[in-house]
Amino acid sequence: MATSSPMVLSMLLLASLTALLVLAPRLSPPPAAAVAAAGEEASPAAGAGAGVNGAGSNGAAEGVWGVGVGEEADDLRLFRRAALEAAAAEDAKAGPPKVAFLFLTNSDLTFAPLWERFFAGNEARLTVYVHADPAARLRLPATPSFRGRFVAAKPTRRADASLIAASRRLLAAALLDDPANAYFALLSQHCAPLHSFQRLYAALFPPPIPTGHRQNHRQPRPPSYIEVLTGEPQMPSRYVARGETAMLPEVPYDRFRIGSQFFTLARRHAVLVVRERRLWRKFRVPCLPEMAQDLCYPEEHYFPTLLDMADPAGVARYTLTRVNWTDSVAGHPHTYTAPEVTPRLIAELRESNHTHPHMFARKFAPDCLGPLMAIADTVIFKD
């Protein structure tokens, strides 16, 4: 009918706009800077919350006023779009749920061959995303699972909020890329798997509880595996790293939390993170210069504080990623080297006091690749 055609037209227009938005290419190719260039060693630090950033040097000031300060328009657009589309995709039944592996790195993904073996045969149930610091000199060519999986990245540094921003970018990219992504595991180039993919998948997606045994006739919601601690000795000084009252009123001291930077988030929490702005605005405020050296690790506070405020019953309060803080130096955990990698170490690192064993561990030095590969099939992927 003639009278309805303007309506039809505008519907069509709306539909095609939506399609454009939804179908637009999601993943950018690896940043040229990151794949080109050889020569000098990539600066350590940032990516993994690791690497010694010249303790005692005055390099701290640069970090303090560094890249986490502003929130540029492109990031804001990305987070908004991810939150919107994720909500729209909530009902889309899209095959088996997937685990999104989010690699935050500022140097080569040395353990890619080990991850390839971990991924092999499970491609339908996983996706991979990499946020590589544009200043990093990646010299190793990307292996198949990592090829073309680099998201638009910005510089990351220790001691400012750039690691939070990078993690949010990874979450947003993964939410936009595939509605089947149901869990989001943040990892670094120093992380290694401790179990097979099947074992991880079975832990994340247990079979549904039979109707008769459910409470309230509802399936329990999948938890996020994130460490949430309180009462740690360093917390009072970490809380005032931006000034005595800087976190108020959004984050009173008794709501402030600490936890490991590396987590595995359930989808609803990934959406919560990219949608969230109130706390993010607080945590991206730079630390005071005198605090920056040892007390500024916003990436260890933002996620546990936010999730414990928003959904305390929905978080497992522990992380699937084992780290060894014994004898830590300048905020760096123990870094395992090749001679330490033994079947016994893998068994020890898996141990946990919780529902699931640890599924990943860090930090491993690059020379661990050989020994890890040597025991991959006989130990690591043998559950």
Site of interaction with ligand NAG (CB under 6 A):
324, 326-327, 334, 345, 348, 351-353
Least CB distance to ligand NAG at residue 14 (A): 53
Indicate the Cα dihedral angle 235, 239, 244, 250, nearest 10°: -140
Judged by beta carbon, residue 301 or residue 362, the one nearer ligand NAG is 362
Judged by beta carbon, residue 66 or residue 333, the one nearer ligand NAG is 333
Judged by beta carbon, residue 172 or residue 349, the one nearer ligand NAG is 349
Least CB distance to ligand NAG at residue 342 (A): 10
Judged by beta carbon, residue 75 or residue 340, the one nearer ligand NAG is 340
Judged by beta carbon, residue 10 or residue 328, the one nearer ligand NAG is 328
Least CB distance to ligand NAG at residue 361 (A): 9
Judged by beta carbon, residue 288 or residue 345, the one nearer ligand NAG is 345
Judged by beta carbon, residue 4 or residue 353, the one nearer ligand NAG is 353
Least CB distance to ligand NAG at residue 334 (A): 4
Least CB distance to ligand NAG at residue 323 (A): 9
Least CB distance to ligand NAG at residue 73 (A): 43
Least CB distance to ligand NAG at residue 42 (A): 24
Angle (CA) 117-120-123 rounded to 5° is: 140
